[in-house]
Structure 1
Amino acid sequence: MIRIRLTLAYDGTDYCGWQLQPNDRTVQGELEKALAVVLGAPVRVHGSGRTDSGVHALGQVVHFDCDEKYATRPWRRSLNGLLPKDIRVVAHGVVPSDFHARYSAGSKTYEYSLWHERDFCLPQRSRFVWNCGKVDFAAMDAASRVLVGEHDFAAFQNKGTVVGTTIRFVSEISRHPGITEHESVWRFTAKGFLKQMVRNMVGCLVACGRGKLTPQDVAAILESGDRTLAPATVPPQGLTLVRVEYPY
């Protein structure tokens, strides 16, 4: 047996997230169906993370095991001919047997795209941005610095996943230009994130940008560990899993 690593890109709009769910269409489900056709038997795929319903990916990494006779299989061409058009394999390769898409990851990078024109949103962008309106970028930048580093992020975790600790180390939160002049992109990098943690951090940043919170308020929310003190979780469509990095 050998272990195959795939990198996927997908538009998550029409999926109930990455993870298999009974009676729901998921990215993992579609990929496993395509693999079953190629391999002639069911196979379980393991992903680097569970993107939520409506969340996108440019660099979702997965792995699965198969017979060594498939080592030179042109996986990108084979699977892209079977997968829906909103899921694509962009890279593939054989990896060591101890590689694990989730547990071997050194860091993950997500980007959240904001649209800043309340009067309209381009139809070509509406599936990939949250229209939050005008914001004060300086206030958001100041608030983002509060969240960088190692902290207990319990106040930014939604219920639904049991974890051993809510302490995480966020190495980067940075602002970048968007695809159009009406957008901004916020980049978040950490070894791992809690459930909907990025979307909850974005909610705090936007609240600061709207003048509803100050960076000092964000620090107090972080220190409290109380999810009810933080703003509501922002919509999923602005979020994209951009990259997963590994030490080898």
Structure 2
Amino acid sequence: MTDTAGSAPPSTVRFRIDLGYDGTDFHGWAVQPELRTVQGVLEEGLALICATPVRTVVAGRTDAGVHARRQVVHCDLPVDLLPRLAGRGARTREPADGLVSRLRGVLGHRGAPDIVIHAAQQVPRAFDARFAAVWRRYSYRLADADALRDPLTVRQTPSLRGTLDVGAMQRSAQEVVGLHDFLPFCKPRPESTTIRTLLDLQVEREGDGVIRFDLRADAFCHHMVRALVGGLVRVGSGAWSVTEPAVLLARAGQGAIREELPPLHLMPAHGLVLEEVGYPEGERAWAQQAATARNRRRVEELGGSARPTI
């Protein structure tokens, strides 16, 4: 199987699978030896259906404890599987519908009620769940002293003492929207850039008093959402000024290194949910977006120094 769009052998056909999961009892998305992960359980189910190992490519990896309402993967399945998925006679259906039905059944039998298969569709090879995506949207829910504590959502809602200033956090959030080097709010990985475009960031108090953060970006760096929310919580508590997050981004754009910046304030993983992933329309747009996404961004885009991004 293959990781990249357009290079799969002709003996396979590509499927897009939309799914969601409660991340509480998973050690993150990616396969890890001897640990229960979302990718591991999903690929075990696909292997049973196909009678061969299957590799999945995901729109965005999630850490241990993080949830997803609408995650997207693609995988290349054997062509000779299609008739079995379609069924016979009066039970004939689209292979994608058969894949959903079989995958739901396998996951149910294997005791994985915390993964929900929403839909599947056969797609051209230009579709790449990771690189063809144009944005990802996350939410983070947090209960402060003014929130009503709901026992049915406690596994998805961290709590803290004191009351946060939602207005200050919202004002601060608007100052960090846009194209920036988000080094102050992520853990950089080797050979990866920390430059991202944050398309939207909203902070509001819901009817039950729980504070909800909504973030949408072209992509997110490692721990970026939890660190951004942590920075805004510092603003809401009065520990930081409203302008501090934007000041830190400006320092990064001017060449500051990680060691010169404040330590990350990471919020607990269980408040984070991947809400949805956005894709352009059509095979040509998928291919163009995938090519663009594979090109690393450089710090010169920010109008800053010549510090190389990693």
Please say if residues 147 and 208 of structure 2, whose CA atoms lie closer than 8 Å, have aligned partners that are also in contact: no
Instruction: Name 2:159's counterpart in structure 1.
Output: 131
SS of residue in 1 equivalent to 2:48: helix
Please say if residues 108 and 192 of structure 1, whose CA atoms lie closer than 8 Å, have aligned partners that are also in contact: yes
Q: Which one of 79, 89, 93 corresponds to residue 103 of structure 2?
A: 79
For structure 2, the residue ranges without an aligned partner over 5 or more in a row are 1-11, 86-93, 282-310
- Is the aligned partner of 1:237 residue 2:266? no
Please say if residues 110 and 239 of structure 1, whose CA atoms lie closer than 8 Å, have aligned partners that are also in contact: yes
Inter-partner Cα distance in structure 2 for 1:119 and 1:108:
27
Identity of aligned residues (%): 36
**Counterpart residue identity of residue 52, structure 1:** D
SS of residue in 1 equivalent to 2:170: helix
Cα 1:176–1:92 shift into 2, 3 Å: farther
Inter-partner Cα distance in structure 2 for 1:185 and 1:146:
18
Instruction: Name 1:89's counterpart in structure 2.
Output: 117
Please say if residues 113 and 183 of structure 1, whose CA atoms lie closer than 8 Å, have aligned partners that are also in contact: yes
- The structure richer in helix per residue is 2
Inter-partner Cα distance in structure 2 for 1:163 and 1:212:
33
Inter-partner Cα distance in structure 1 for 2:102 and 2:25:
23
SS of residue in 2 equivalent to 1:35: helix
Please say if residues 204 and 230 of structure 1, whose CA atoms lie closer than 8 Å, have aligned partners that are also in contact: no
Instruction: Name 2:149's counterpart in structure 1.
Output: 121
Q: Equivalences for 1:50-89 in 2 at 5 Å?
A: 50-68=61-79, 69=82, 70=85, 72-73=95-96, 74-83=98-107, 84-89=112-117
**Counterpart residue identity of residue 22, structure 1:** P
Inter-partner Cα distance in structure 1 for 2:14 and 2:32:
24
Instruction: Name 1:224's counterpart in structure 2.
Output: 251
For structure 1, the residue ranges without an aligned partner over 5 or more in a row are none
Instruction: Name 1:181's counterpart in structure 2.
Output: 208
CA-based RMSD of the aligned residues comes to 1.8
**Counterpart residue identity of residue 244, structure 1:** V
Q: Which one of 98, 102, 106 corresponds to residue 126 of structure 2?
A: 98
**Counterpart residue identity of residue 242, structure 1:** E
**Counterpart residue identity of residue 156, structure 1:** F
**Counterpart residue identity of residue 171, structure 1:** L
Q: Equivalences for 1:40-51 in 2 at 5 Å?
A: 40-51=51-62
